[in-house]
């Protein structure tokens, strides 16, 4: 059975490309909840925020902050994408999320102090607006609307990492991989006939770092998915052939 055409129609995100955050979550509509958390600010207030920060650019693969570094402020993503990840004592990494335009990174110590619990690096050439802890405190003290926006942004971050913990604690690794493919199809999928082509290039190593497994296990499991007719993987591109059955596996129904 191929992808249900009605299912593709219901996935409104496929109607037009959008840049969405990606992380393990049971609720697809929550993925980009924290994007544009400053959108309620007036143009004048936004000008004040921008003048309080400094624009910085990072090339693909360049580190933005590192686990164990002291918190100094936050970065607003104005272009590109950023990965946040945690490295265990063994050096093994787990990817927490891929963040895109409109989100911020560098919390939770937004006023500075303490140390970063994870690291961040640029996934492509990225433009950020950096706000130091003291500048953020000044904005909070003088601009109530900014304080409300910041609280909303922190709430979205909290929900993100709560969703991640729930997925890691309640879903098998096979279910997590199936759910991740569903998420990638929802956020970076393009319908072509009855297929859903994932346009974002994600390596087996990337997938393993997100679901908490090894590259070898991911390769073997994707091969099993392909033999069942769920996906097609070729030339670095992933195609979802049977969206509904893949979702059933993610939900533990198959």
> Where a domain ends, among 150, 169, 188?
169
Q: What is the CATH number of the domain that holds 13?
A: 1.10.10.10
Q: How far apart (Å, rounded) are the C-alpha atoms in residues 37 and 110?
A: 15
Q: What is the CATH number of the domain that holds 141?
A: 2.60.120.10
Pair 147, 176 in one domain: no
pLDDT of residue 167: 93
pLDDT tens-place string over residues 68-95: 999 999 999 999 999 999 999 998 999 9
Read off the pTM. 0.86
State which residues form the domain around 61. 43-169
Residue 137 belongs to a domain? yes
pLDDT tens-place string over residues 108-146: 899 988 999 999 999 999 999 999 999 999 999 999 999
What's the number of domains the chain is made of?
A: 2
> Where a domain ends, among 137, 169, 201?
169
Kind plus residue range of the DSSP H or E element containing 207: helix 204-211
Pair 220, 128 in one domain: no
Confidence at 17, pLDDT banded by 50, 70, 90: very low
């Amino acid at each position: 059975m191929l992808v249900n055409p009605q299912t593709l129609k219901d996935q409104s995100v496929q109607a037009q490309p959008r840049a969405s955050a990606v992380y393990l979550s049971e609720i697809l509509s929550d993925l980009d909840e924290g994007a544009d958390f400053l959108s309620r600010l007036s143009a004048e207030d936004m000008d004040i925020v921008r003048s309080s920060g400094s624009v910085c650019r990072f090339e693909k693969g360049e580190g933005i902050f590192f686990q164990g570094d002291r918190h100094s402020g936050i970065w607003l993503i104005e272009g590109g994408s950023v990965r946040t990840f945690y490295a265990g004592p063994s050096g093994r990494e787990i990817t927490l999320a891929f963040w895109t335009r409109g989100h911020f990174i560098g919390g939770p110590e937004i006023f500075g102090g303490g140390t970063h619990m994870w690291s961040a690096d640029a996934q492509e050439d990225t433009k950020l607006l950096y706000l130091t802890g003291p500048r953020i405190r000044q904005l909070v003290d003088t601009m109530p609307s900014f304080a409300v926006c910041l609280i909303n942004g922190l709430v979205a971050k909290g929900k993100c990492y709560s969703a991640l913990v729930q997925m890691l604690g309640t879903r098998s690794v096979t279910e997590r991989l199936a759910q991740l493919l569903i998420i990638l199809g929802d956020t970076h999928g393009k319908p072509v006939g009855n297929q859903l082509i994932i346009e974002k290039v994600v390596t087996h190593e990337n997938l393993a770092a997100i679901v908490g497994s090894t590259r070898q296990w991911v390769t073997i499991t994707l091969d099993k998915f392909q033999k069942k007719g769920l996906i097609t993987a070729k030339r670095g591109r992933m195609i979802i052939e049977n969206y509904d059955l893949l979702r059933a596996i993610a939900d533990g129904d198959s």
